[in-house]
């Protein structure tokens, strides 16, 4: 079983790669400007605290607005009873009461019985008539007596 390769830091050294660090000095003019900028930069609030601060300010402002609104709301001299409010919403209660006796149960369900039968019969009348005609028509053909002579050019012509 082979051990995994575990190089030391000196094993990893590479003169060519170490040259990657060359030429990284800060130019003097940029250095001065950067030091001045860092020394004079405004102090930022920590991000989390800034967000939390904004949230608390907004919540406090909303709560204060509600309290002020409730406190300054003009009091009504004649308070409205809840029933009057319901009445305004639903209409006067007498109007909701039924003015006539309730119809019979059979009327509530739909058509009266005779009317329903008539309607069913009307629906079936047409198809039944067709069926009856289909049955009767062949019988009529067989029972019917010939009322006119056979047409000319038919089979009787040989007798002439």
Partner 1 sequence: MADALPWDTVRMAARGDPAARRDLAERTLDDLWRLAMRLTRRRQEAESVVQETYARAFAALDGLEPNGRFEGYLARIATNLVLERWRKHRPTEPVPTDLPDEASEPWQQVARDEDDRRRLAAVWQAVGELDPKPRAAVLLFYAHGEACEAIGRILDAPAGTVKTWLHRSRNRIRQRADALLTGQSAPASPQPET
**Residues 150, 160: Cα–Cα separation, whole Å:** 13
* Residue numbers 7-66 binding partner 1 by CB under 8 A: 7, 9, 12, 14, 16-27, 30-31, 34-35, 37-49
Using DSSP's 3-state secondary structure scheme, residue 110 falls into coil
Of 12 and 137, which has the nearer Cβ to partner 1? 12
Question: Is residue 159 involved in binding partner 1 (CB under 8 A)?
Answer: no
Residues 6+ apart with CB under 8 A from 44: 50
Question: Is residue 3 involved in binding partner 1 (CB under 8 A)?
Answer: no
Q: What is the largest CA-CA distance in the chain?
A: 142
If phi over 0 gives left and psi between -120 and 50 gives alpha, with beta otherwise, what is residue 110? Answer: left
CB of 37 to partner 1, least distance (A): 7
The residue count for binding partner 1 (CB under 8 A) is: 35
Residues that bind partner 1 (CB under 8 A): 5-7, 9, 12, 14, 16-27, 30-31, 34-35, 37-49
């Amino acid at each position: 079983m082979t051990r995994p390769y575990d190089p030391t830091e000196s094993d990893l050294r590479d003169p060519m790669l170490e040259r990657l660090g060359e030429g990284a000095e800060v130019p003097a003019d940029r250095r001065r400007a950067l030091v001045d900028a860092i020394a004079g930069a405004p102090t930022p609030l920590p991000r989390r605290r800034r967000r939390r601060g904004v949230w608390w300010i907004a919540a406090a402002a909303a709560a204060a607005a509600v309290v002020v609104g409730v406190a300054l709301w003009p009091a009504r001299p004649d308070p409205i009873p809840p029933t009057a409010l319901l009445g305004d919403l639903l209409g006067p209660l007498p109007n909701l009461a039924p003015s006539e006796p309730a119809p019979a149960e059979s009327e509530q369900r739909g058509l009266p019985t005779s009317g329903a039968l008539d309607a069913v019969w009307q629906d079936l009348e047409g198809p039944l008539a067709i069926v009856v005609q289909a049955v009767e028509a062949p019988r009529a053909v067989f029972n019917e007596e010939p009322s006119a002579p056979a047409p000319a050019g038919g089979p009787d012509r040989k007798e002439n």
